[in-house]
């Protein structure tokens, strides 16, 4: 089956929507869900094909009702179309895209913290120079991969640099 039951835990709302931690009950893996509300508009509804913006291995329906006036938000189309082709160990993996009548949810691999949290929670005396260099090197590897693929991130900041429990850096938020 393509659609799995998820147990969801909410985090504070961000600029474009909410980010939730979830457990995929079929695989028992943690995932992160970025849910964005779509603006409701009056007027005619139409069906627009989305094959250009869906991940390659997605099993979601290929058409979705959208407003003729607005369509899908640019930041959403940009983020999905970029991430569906990005396969790099230092870039967050987009697992799936779920379209609902009033929202779109991006399902990502789960990464427990961002660089801002690492900076705020760890006294600098405990972060050695080797670890700092390793983090910067991974960020540069992710950016070099993006640039080789004609992608400019446009919003590199500590909140968009995720860190796994093993210290692996994942660049996120390509909207």
Among residues 120, 101, 105, the alpha carbon closest in space to that of 41 is found at 101
Catalytic residue among 96, 114, 155, 173: 155
Is 28 an annotated catalytic residue? no
Distance between CA 37 and CA 104 in Å, rounded? 7
* Helical spans, DSSP H, in 18-150: 74-83, 115-121, 129-148
Among residues 151, 160, 73, 47, the alpha carbon closest in space to that of 108 is found at 160
Supply the residues annotated as catalytic.
Answer: 155
């Amino acid at each position: 089956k393509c659609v799995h039951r998820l147990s969801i835990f909410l985090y504070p709302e961000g600029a474009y929507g909410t980010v939730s931690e979830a457990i995929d009950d079929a695989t028992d893996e943690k995932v992160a869900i970025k849910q964005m509300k779509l603006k409701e508009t009056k007027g005619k509804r139409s069906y627009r094909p989305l094959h250009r913006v869906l991940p390659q291995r997605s099993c979601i329906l290929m058409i979705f009702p959208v407003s003729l006036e607005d369509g899908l938000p640019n930041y959403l189309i940009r983020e999905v179309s970029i991430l569906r082709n990005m396969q790099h160990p230092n870039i967050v993996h987009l697992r799936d895209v779920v379209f609902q009548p009033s929202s779109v949810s991006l399902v990502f691999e789960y990464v427990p913290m961002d660089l801002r949290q690492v900076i705020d929670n760890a006294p600098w005396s405990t972060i050695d120079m080797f670890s700092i260099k390793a983090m910067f090197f991974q960020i540069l590897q992710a950016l070099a991969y993006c640039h080789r693929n004609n992608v400019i991130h446009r919003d590199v900041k500590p909140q968009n640099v995720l860190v796994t429990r093993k210290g692996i850096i994942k660049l996120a938020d390509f909207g």
